[in-house]
Amino acid sequence: MKKVNENDKRKVLAASLGQDFMRKYMLSNSLTPKIITPTRQSGVAVLLGSRPECGMERKAEAPAKGVAVAPDWLRILIDETLEKQQPLWEEPRDYFRGSEVGDSCLRSLCLSAMGHRMPIEARLRRIFNTGNSIEASNMAIFAAADIIRDTAQAEVLYEKPPIKGHVDAILCRPQDDARILCEIKSINENSFKRSPKEHGPILAGQSPLLKTHYRYILQFNTYVCAPNLGLSEGFILFESKDKQNQKFYWLLKDEELLEKTLARLRLAAPYILSDPMRVPPVSLEPDKDSTHKNCNRRYLCTRIPDEGATYDEVRAIDKQVRG
């Protein structure tokens, strides 16, 4: 009898399970999965676009004597409540999100504009909720100190390339009544300890954060340079989620860094403004290997032909993977 190797087994399983194909493909190619793979069998697993491997379903423990309900019911209910109703696709939009300008992959930026979404598991949802609470707490303190002068979440607007976003806050410095941009980031304690020392006002492109948290810097600089806001300076506030320690990084707007950011987005803009929308060719990126290595949507990005694809073609490719 012909011996069946492990790769052949994976292919057979992929063909039979359908929704689990992406995970099998990633594992067989020694890549890190980039979509959610719940460890239990439920409607949530289907919604998130994958199913657990055979034998990996999360099973509730047998009820103790005299107890009618398995003790794991609440944990499962909490997780499923946090994970439900997350769409795989939303309505397309004709602009880039300001929070995503630091994405290293132009194809990923275009996929986001097309409406592609990456649902997240319950644990990450709890982390994001904690971050939102930290932001809300600091905003309440700023309000109590009476230093919020502009409406919170003021809109950021660029026309060419089209960018939209919302700042955390614009504050007023009591000493000189200057308007300053405030961006709040919550990070875990280990990342907080490894982050650079806080510093006074310097150009955004000269901050040591550009090496350690470049996405935060590019987002901040894009916001502080927004032509409709008229700002010139501000700060990024880091707060530890574990111990609530804080670091302030004071930054000046950097026009040179902004131009580099906008130049990349101008390359991709025609593809989200075209009819039909398209994902650009790989040749648009100067370093394909490095780009895909850090791409948040690598599972889909690498499946799209090198020459690019239309919106409908991308949806069809994604449907083969996530259903």
Percentage of residues in the chain having pLDDT higher than 90 = 62
Scan for tokens 């439900």, then name that residue. 84
Classify the phi-psi angles of 190: left when phi > 0, otherwise alpha if psi is within -120 to 50, otherwise beta. alpha
SS (H, E, C) the chain: CCCCCHHHHHHHHHHHHCCCHHHHHHHHCCCCCCCCCCCCCCHHHHHCCCCCCCCCCCCCCCCCCCCCCCCCHHHHHHHHHHHCCCCCECCCCCCEEHHHCCCCCHHHHHHHHHCECCCCCHHHHHHHHHHHHHHHHHHHHHHHCCCECCCCCCEEEECCCCEEEECCEEEEECCCCEEEEEEEEEECHHHHHHCCCCEEEEEHHHCCHHHHCHHHHHHHHHHHCCCCCCCCEEEEEEEECCCCCEEEEEEECCHHHHHHHHHHHHHHHHHHHCCCCEECCHHHCCCHHHHHHCCCCHHHHCCCCCCCEEHHHHHHHHHHHHC
Digit-coded pLDDT (tens) for 158-185 = 999 999 999 999 999 999 999 999 999 9
Instruction: Write down the pLDDT at residue 254.
Output: 98
Asked if 222 contacts 257 with a C-beta cutoff of 8 angstroms, the reply is no
Summarize pLDDT for 284-316 with one digit per residue, the tens: 887 665 556 678 888 899 999 999 999 999 999
Please report the sign of the dihedral spanned by the C-alpha atoms of residue 86, residue 302, residue 222, residue 173: positive
Give all domains of the chain, ordered by start, each with its CATH number: 6-62+71-83 (no CATH), 96-119+274-322 (no CATH), 122-260 (3.90.320.10)
Q: Average of pLDDT values for 22-37?
A: 37
How far is 53 from 127, CA to CA, in rounded Å?
A: 26
Mean per-residue pLDDT for 207-216?
96
- By residue count, the chain amounts to 323
Predicted local distance difference test score (pLDDT) of residue 71: 79
Two tokens at 80?
């499923």
